[in-house]
Structure 1
């Protein structure tokens, strides 16, 4: 059932309106977990594409509180009431040095307040000074520095001091300790500075450490009381700094590189917890020894990127296995209390009623999208791997995966479970009545199943009608296939459109073949009425008239300007990803909007359109967009031309927006602005007075309570004049 929103707008201009596709939210985000910081039962996890905020009050069942998408965070740190997030790589895969600073007044909803064009691995605040251990590319070289900023106004940090070649740093009283490397001689040095006056910082001492620099990872410095711990690759160096200016060697220990690496560690009671999984007893700094190993529990520790301890719990990020929490009640035998594996690839999405069904590397996930802006996971089945396509009908989800065709009972969205399967290597599927037509990606064949008896799927036949089938769709008794080209030393094959008669499901017949371009890798297909649209890995979409399916004719070619992985048709609109074309006149196809995908470096494999919302399954995320264009019953009325004008800025906004307007004194009589949510509920009203030219909405309702993120409409009324416009609140 499509959720339709009926909106009637008064348009002032007689020209066609311009529509935009607005990014709303990403209810699913995957990625490699790189770092973690914790404050007051709130954990901030950084991965390549986002910062995920968890409420960890219950250490056995943390809850996702919010997601900051596409920040590309590799390092996070908390100082005072501020969260620092840093990355070297932007969400679109280009190098970008940036450290973002967030206000944590609301722990679950960090608010961005400033950005520094520097990428940092470590963050320390002392009074009104911010110390950043930065890294940046200079050509092919990665440069490391310690940069010090004045943050008396944290919204406008200003750099005041810079030290070169700093790989790690920490403080002891008013002494600054830095670990520096010499690439040419592979040396590691410890430098001690007097930092009483940061503008006149000066070097007190420098000693060479008996550590050999390894390009595998950078040295790490941690100072606890009067002891300095320095780790590098497989070595741990401990110094006494009772005399801060003249450190004394306490011990130096080397561990087998096959057993550990020491790129970061943290200390709890008398133990160091190394990223390689070892627990080192340092109660006697002159004789440290291995006392435990927190890698004995699954998942393994050989992929650990960061460790953090808060309130007696060890937080561990693992680049391959997400993150996990361990209780340190017994510090040398940590107990695993929670494991969150969110590394995934999202491949397909299907909408039915108030639910979105998503396939991925880890199985099938069901989202409740009753309120798209507040979508959430309601159920999943992670035990069937590499699922690639899904169709839902009645209470059954038909899933294509590496295991084969699997049918799930989804009558309870909170608990989907498989009821039957047929083994194979299926990548795509389509359904007509009780028959399921699939693509076997290994053998490049079309396979037909009879699923009349859900509990006993019957194979009807396999057909070698295409060399490299990639996508399929059905109209009446016709199956349309997008067949990719294949050109190598073994195969020279031209792909294109294949049309198959499926009137007899147990006896398919290939009736037409069209090869429009010998060099294209055709991978997407869509159909409406008597027309078929064929897309590929190159920009441009072919349009065929298939009213005579035996002799299909190419009648148009859409200059899309981007490749096509998946296409969807809703009403008279063709969606090439989140690019929209008006196809009401097949001979005059018009580009309406080329939305920018929020999928970052991933590929948008699948889209689904429902009401005013576009759902996108990208490699590393599931994204939701809003467009006012889609709903079939969207109405327009041409209003008489007058001098009235209304606009809000900024839009999108957080936390407030200014609605500005111009009107005469006569127009201002009884004028008002009303704000509505997507359900059509009025949440705020402003009366307009003669002298007013604007009002400020602070994102609160009539009861002065903050409203949630999402789309809102503001309606201006003045006499017989009325206009409605859209705005987006992002938190």
Structure 2
């Protein structure tokens, strides 16, 4: 699926500006954050002549606490491990190398502990595994090896290089456990590397695609998907399923505006926080990575789209949920996001007489214009912000059309946060007489189960306003689409109790399950969680 933003005139949506500071009005690049033991939050941003450390707790008193000078450069990148910041730049001259800065004496000041320059002086970027306490940093794009230097910083005053991955130039890398995801900018690949032995990184596999310019990447929270960006105007970000490294495949693409490049992604929970250069900060819901939906943005650049202006970097990992970013021209931006989730709609479109799937049928959400098409199996998936949040209190209108068929519209489809609605749509061939009521959906009311999450059992209430209701069924299935339990419905209004067991009486595993009321022409589905 491809997702793109549909609104270009607004400056923001679901994101507000907490504060801003421009400490050195020349040029900015990287940013990272640090939270002190007593909960004070600091932004670190890469300025033209050094690293600025900024207190961000009070929106009325955002101020620079200290500044560590380094070689002048438009590029300066930062990561933080424990109480130390590690800084690299492509600038040359006095102080060249990886700076190690102690943050332990904040809020008073910071101090430069050492500058590591034994194996490189200039570098493009630096990172670490934010999902563990591993005492390693990874330095990419150096003027010596060009690849990734792996440094043990167990003793921050004495970093030790223990290995490297340098088959060619590596522009950026994402580290997760024993894997290194390396963006091979000029090689046109995304390398997945085993770093369980950091002295001997070993290539596992590569992702390649047409016209690649692999710039950076980040894994989903569960590490089943990889969000990859290309640093070139007109190219989308791509989302890859990496559950099976022997069968990696693309599931979706995203761009807010093809005139601008998607720069850097940072993932936390269900959201990708994207620095989209001239389009500013973009926040995309990837609860279902195959249906990425933009749910928030803040435009930091008022000029034309395209090129290397605007928001360079971001950091969404503060306990307070603040998001910081370094805007190239005017420094630090601090954002707050209302954490809104998208809803999603899935379904099939088939011929009303033969039930043969209709491929390339078009599905449009009438009120927003978002569109998708069915695949060869007649399946579609589409998402949108909750209908009430968009001002459509009665819900969305879904329009279904295909060549040779009468158009069908379903009105008043209320879409809430995190919804997963399912529709089975039957289109009537234009040569077949259509009764006046054939375009009206059957009415099903399916309530959210209670309790949810649940153990050992949960109650599901339903209401049917259809003829032949005795033909309706309530089916429970897992995230693989496999049927777990089926109930026949004997009343137009009633309830079902599920005890967490399948049709064979065996208790199912903990996790997410879907429950669906299904008739011959309509269905509705909701999600629930079973906990042991």
| TM-score for the superposition, normalised by structure 1 | 0.33
Higher Cα radius of gyration: 1
Greater strand share, structure number: 1
